[in-house]
């Protein structure tokens, strides 16, 4: 149902380099950019997209309290790889990869701008 979601950043170049590494194990890749403000990521397997962007109002980006993005992974190994890439790229661990429920395997991190992300595999 979601067409796309945006993740605010104060340093788009750093965020793009970070998400290039995080999205790769998930099958994501750069799809298109909107000038020097926004970089979209997508995959052939899913219709939705995620973008990292400078806020349109030109005020500083900030992480929302209670906000989190969930990125689907094709396997548990991809969850582990994306989490490892996030930490290696300057992200902060918010929950090591692991089985959370009978059918949910997930890992949590914050990107360099403080946005909380979950990478998960259902089933």
Report pLDDT digits (tens) over 36-63. Answer: 999 999 998 888 999 999 999 999 999 9
pLDDT in tens, 68-96: 999 999 999 999 999 999 999 999 999 99
Residue 77 lies in domain = 4-55+67-122
Q: Which residues contact 65 (CB under 8 A, 6 or more apart)?
A: none
For residue 117, tell me if it sits in a domain. yes
Structurally, the chain folds into a number of domains equal to 1
Domain assignment present for residue 29? The answer is yes
CB atoms within 10 A of CB 103: 9
In a domain, 100, yes or no: yes
Instruction: Decide if 62 is inside a domain.
Output: no
CATH code where residue 100 lies: 3.10.180.10
Residue 2: the pLDDT is 84
Evaluate whether residue 60 is within a structural domain. no
Q: Is residue 61, in this structure, part of any structural domain at all? A: no
1 pLDDT higher than 80: no
For the entire predicted model, the pTM comes to: 0.92
């Amino acid at each position: 149902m979601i067409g796309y979601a945006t993740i605010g950043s104060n340093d788009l170049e750093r965020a793009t380099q970070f998400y290039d590494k995080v999205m790769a194990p998930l099958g994501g890749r750069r799809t298109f950019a909107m000038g020097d403000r926004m970089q979209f990521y997508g995959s052939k397997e899913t219709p939705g997209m995620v973008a990292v962007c400078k806020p349109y109002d030109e005020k500083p980006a900030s992480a929302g309290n209670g906000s989190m993005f969930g990125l689907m992974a094709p396997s548990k190994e991809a969850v582990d790889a994306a989490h490892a890439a996030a930490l290696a790229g300057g992200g902060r661990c918010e929950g090591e990869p692991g089985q959370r429920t009978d059918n949910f395997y997930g890992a949590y991190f914050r990107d360099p701008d403080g946005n909380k992300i979950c990478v998960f595999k259902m089933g």
